[in-house]
Amino acid sequence: MPRHAGRTTPGRSRTNRIWNRSLQLGEAIDTKKNWTRRRELIGPLLGATTTCDLVAANRAVTMDVGAPSLGLVRPTVTRVELLPGKDWSRTQLTKVERAAQGDLFTPPLNQLKPVPHRIRYHYHCESPSCDNGHKQEVLDWEVGSSGHAWQKIYGDLTGQKVLEKWESMVADTKDTYFFIGNQHQYRQSFSVLGVWWPKKT
Ligand SMILES: [Zn+2]
């Protein structure tokens, strides 16, 4: 486990500041045997909360008080939406340009391109009072990298292929959960950070 500097962000007890130089690459935990090893690691978290409960917990407290910012929720998906990518904002562009320039110690890099497509899930969580459901964008980097990489293979059909991939993760044959998390500034607003999608057994 990486060490951290021992400070947390106010109101976010689960957000630690990473001490980059202490990070060490460990073993990759694969998805063989229907995600058995991953299930051993996070099994108890599967479905331990709901999106409605997480939103309510964050709504109930002021910014200086801690509230859960992450969860692994079971969705019933009603729609998978393909959205166009967005250009960088002025602030993002400045950061991207600065990162690409390099400095005395690092060579220049190819400038990061904005993602060409975005995915948004519409779903109900397991809360009995989840009447209106939730609409959340997928922030997984793989959405963007697929959109770029598949362009060479699929051309104009790339968006459709990205949509099909994220639809396949919530197919009836999959035991799907969403890793969801919020942002410090908008604590009631959660996004999908990743998808857990082994086969149903
Ligand atoms: Zn809900």
Query: In this predicted model, what pLDDT tens digit does every residue of 86-144 receive, in sequence order?
Result: 888 899 889 888 888 877 777 778 888 888 999 999 999 999 999 999 999 999 999 99
Q: Is residue 58 part of a domain?
A: yes
Expressed in angstroms and rounded, the spacing between residue 192 Cα and the centre of ligand 1 is 13
Q: Is residue 181 part of a domain?
A: yes
The count of domains in the chain is 1
Residues 158 and 132 sit within 8 Å (Cβ to Cβ): no
Q: Is residue 176 part of a domain?
A: yes
Q: Is residue 201 part of a domain?
A: no
Expressed in angstroms and rounded, the spacing between residue 162 Cα and the centre of ligand 1 is 26
Q: Is residue 98 part of a domain?
A: no
Expressed in angstroms and rounded, the spacing between residue 139 Cα and the centre of ligand 1 is 19
Expressed in angstroms and rounded, the spacing between residue 147 Cα and the centre of ligand 1 is 29
Q: Is residue 101 part of a domain?
A: no
Q: Which residues surround ligand 1, an ion (CB under 5 A)?
A: 51-52, 125, 127, 130
Domain range holding 55? 30-62+69-87+118-196
Q: Is residue 93 part of a domain?
A: no
Residue bearing the bigger pLDDT, 92 or 52: 52
Closest by CA to 114, choosing from 138, 87, 84, 92, is 87
Q: Is residue 18 part of a domain?
A: no
User: What pTM, to 2 d.p., does this model score?
Assistant: 0.83
Expressed in angstroms and rounded, the spacing between residue 131 Cα and the centre of ligand 1 is 7
Residue 49 in tokens = 């909360």
Helices (H), the chain: 32-42, 51-59, 90-101, 141-149, 151-154, 158-168
